[in-house]
Chain A
Amino acid sequence: MTISKKDVEHVAKLARLGLSEEEKEKLTQQLNDILKYAEQINQLDTDKVPPTSHSIPMQNVFREDEAKPCRNTADILANGPQTQETTFRVPKMLE
């Protein structure tokens, strides 16, 4: 499998990542190199091998969903690029 510049553009769109033309060229080359190396995993037959998503077996931990007061709203909002009262402002989404 080889990756084209068009693939890079598609993936960048999925990742919401802006890239310059130069970055696109470089990434096309580098991703191809890395994936070529990574494709050695296809040498192994894993048809009967189950996947591992977590190294240590564990189960979901549940708790009651209870509303609690937030103690430091002001500190949280202070990190917002743009805020209004107790909300974060974003640029317009729709015309």
Chain B
Amino acid sequence: MSDKLYTKTVHELHQLMKTKKVSSVELVTAIYERIEQVDDKVKAYLTLTKAAALIEAQKVDKRIADAKEIGPLEGIPVAIKDNMCTEGVKTTCASKILANYIPPYNATAVTELEDDGAIILGKLNMDEFAMGSSCENSAFFPTHNPWNLKTVPGGSSGGSAAAVAADEAPFALGSDTGGSIRQPASFCGVVGMKPTYGRVSRYGLVAFASSLDQIGPLAKDVTDTAIIMNVICGYDPYDSTSIDKKVPDHTKALTGKLDEIKTVGVVKELLGKGISPEVKKSIEEAIKVYEKLGAKIKMISMPSFEYALSCYYLVATAEASSNLARYDGVKFGLRSADSPDLLSMYYNTRREGFGPEVKRRIMLGTYALSSGYYDAYYLKAQKIRTLIKRDFEAAFKEVDVLISPTTPTVAFNIGEKSDDPLSMYLSDIATIPINLAGIPAISIPCGLAKGLPIGLQIMGNVLEEEKIIKAAYAFEQKTKWHKERPKL
């Protein structure tokens, strides 16, 4: 039984646990065996917490033995991106500056999973401080795409997507500031969802760009995504930006039909220039699937999208430059050994502790906020943000959901874009507008080209995660792309 346990989805594992065919200890053991087999190739994990995981699994097994009913995540293992605080377990953000940081508290999203009986397997690699689109900006090592080890898994939640794709975790948590869940989910052929801004508490998520950051799940299918969303969404008094509205049962949206979704919009600008032919072809096939499901298809023009990337790199870096001011060598993290006085401690700690991309973004953000340039860059970018929001508001008056490719191309090679920041930024062109507008979106597998996965992005209006999940699940039922797995 335990030989292929690691391939199963959360809902399949739940059935096995409920009927007592498998224990949590067996399951956790099987996953760690899988990690041992493949992680020297994939390199998804930064930290494993095996001893603690087995103790927790034993506790859950005892509870299950006496229980009549068990929760959907009870005894199911999960891995966490290393920018979410885990009490007593190193949380590095894949940065030298936090290499030895041990948080004295848990992120709320982590607590929610633990309270529901999920077992933490370990912490996952990422681009340093979530800044990057390839996982190459990790200060420790790059993660490899399980579909082709020469290619990147995407980023910044590259470890999360690679771990799920390689069966090294049944599901994972990631964070998404400009596409950091959806882009790697697309590159690795898994499902990744960015909820509405504020739907999941950011308490304990190491801040990158506070007005854009959002935690979300990476999973093997849409059903699992709905199950995890039910657990992690909700108001948190520790995050004043979290939304205080009742969380619906997202699994009710798993009908296999489009129901109230009458019109599916296709973003015109995201099927044109810069989109590779194989990606375009897959999206055109996806459009046909929605037609067959009975939807009316409408082309929607979003003229502001052309400016979204520029807007994002001014807003996100400005916020980052402010958020990262806290890494000063005083209260936690690295302090340079070369600190004869306070000022040189700041300069040297930050010089030694941050990698090139983080430095670049701190510089860009500081510049955009500095006296004389604030109006031309930061304020202007915030006005563009209003235009992007208005484009979405107008679109959702005409259509129920919008679709586009998640990324313009399939996964690129390791090293291919690392010397060209602008070309790296362009791989987020389809995902960035969503964060600027705060709306939810999902990426689901919709094809393969050159042996690499292609992702379909489905966007919905604010707090309309159920519609997105409904549209995604209906698509998944008609196609079988989510069943494709890399051969490792």
Contact = CB atoms under 8 A, between A and B. Distances in A.
B29 interface: no
A51 B383 contact: yes
Interface residues of A, number: 53
A69 interface: no
Contacts of B343: 16
B305 to A, nearest CB: 12
Contacts, number: 170
Contact of B386 (A3, A50, A88): A50
B335 A82 contact: yes
Interface string B306-339: 1101110110000001000100111111110001
B271 interface: no
A11 B369 CA distance: 10
Say whether chain A's binding surface is mostly helix, strand, loop, or mixed. Answer: loop
Interface string A45-67: 01001111111101011000000
A88 B196 contact: no
A39 to B, nearest CB: 8
Given A40-B307, A72-B105, A75-B102, A18 B421 contact: no
Contacts of B334: 81
Contacts of B366: 11, 14-15
Given A19-B351, A55-B438, A72-B105, 19 more contacts: A15-B321, A18-B348, A35-B377, A37-B309, A38-B310, A41-B307, A42-B376, A46-B386, A46-B387, A51-B382, A52-B386, A53-B382, A58-B198, A75-B102, A78-B104, A79-B102, A80-B331, A81-B330, A81-B335
B340 interface: yes
Interface in B204-225: 211-212
A42 B311 CA distance: 11
A19 to B, nearest CB: 7
B362 interface: yes
Contacts of A20: 351
B104 A17 contact: no
Interface string B237-252: 0001101000000000
B360 A30 contact: yes
A35 B347 CA distance: 25
Given A40-B307, A90-B342, A91-B342, A15 B362 contact: yes
Interface residues of B, number: 75
Contacts of B381: 41
B101 interface: yes
Contacts of A90: 330, 342, 345
B341 A55 contact: no
B55 interface: no
A16 B350 contact: yes
A90 to B, nearest CB: 6
B310 A55 contact: no
